[in-house]
Homo-oligomer: A and B are copies of this chain.
Amino acid sequence: HDWELRDNSTKLKRTFKFHNFEDAMRFAQRVGKLCEIEGHHPDLMIGWGYCRVEFQTHKINGLHENDFIMAAKVNRLLEL
């Protein structure tokens, strides 16, 4: 599972799988902190065993280079 273009290529989404709710929540917090620092906010969906991360540049209601950079930075969190 990697990032996917969705909604007519206006959004970039990836679903990360976990073994419980707590780990999904912890990952969401890390993504949230990263995005605070970068000043580019995702939409996050969290439930038992998953965290879905969604990027969009709301100002243009579509995707911008920044969204792809953020996606790569979120991927890097998994390696830390």
Chain A residues proximal to chain B, CB less than 8 Å: 21-22, 25, 28-29, 32, 35-36, 41-48, 58
Contact = CB atoms under 8 A, between A and B. Distances in A.
Nearest to A21: B41
A24 B22 CA distance: 18
A36 B23 CA distance: 11
Given A44-B46, A45-B44, A47-B44, A25 B21 contact: no
Contact of A36 (B21, B32, B47): B21
A58 B47 CA distance: 11
A43 B28 CA distance: 12
Contacts of A25: 28-29, 32
